[in-house]
Amino acid sequence: MHKRVHDIICRCEEITEREIRGAIRQFNLRTADEVKRLTRAGMGLCQGRTCALLVEKIISEETNRKVSEIFPSSTRPPVRPIKIEFLAKKEEKES
């Protein structure tokens, strides 16, 4: 099935609103971390900076709770690519 761009909540992992709502209903999810683990929404390169608030809003709507009552997902330091030459130079200095 082709995912329509306007339905995608998590752009990094291409997770749709329908997938998120379906997981919340099927597995009785209540936190952003639960949604993250089951759907991968928020696990992409941006680490949820783009979709976290949308995911929390969807959880709020599905569980009839205020967004402020939704436990946000845990954050991880961003992973950024580095050039291999940087590592090689560091190793030379340590030798």
For the entire predicted model, the pTM comes to 0.75
Q: Using one digit for the tens of pLDDT, what is the confidence trace for 38-81?
A: 999 999 988 899 999 999 999 999 999 999 999 888 876 656 67
Q: How far apart are CA 78 and CA 63, in angstroms?
A: 30
Q: What are phi and psi of 38, to 5 degrees?
A: -85, -30
Residue 54, CB half-sphere, CA atoms under 13 Å: how many? 18
Q: How far apart are CA 8 and CA 18, in angstroms?
A: 9
* Residue given tokens 């683990």 in the structure block: 37
Inter-CA distances, 78 with 12, 21, 30, 46, 69, Å = 14, 27, 25, 7, 26
Architecture of domain 5-94: Orthogonal Bundle (1.10)
Q: Using one digit for the tens of pLDDT, what is the confidence trace for 7-48?
A: 999 999 999 999 999 999 999 999 999 999 999 999 998 889
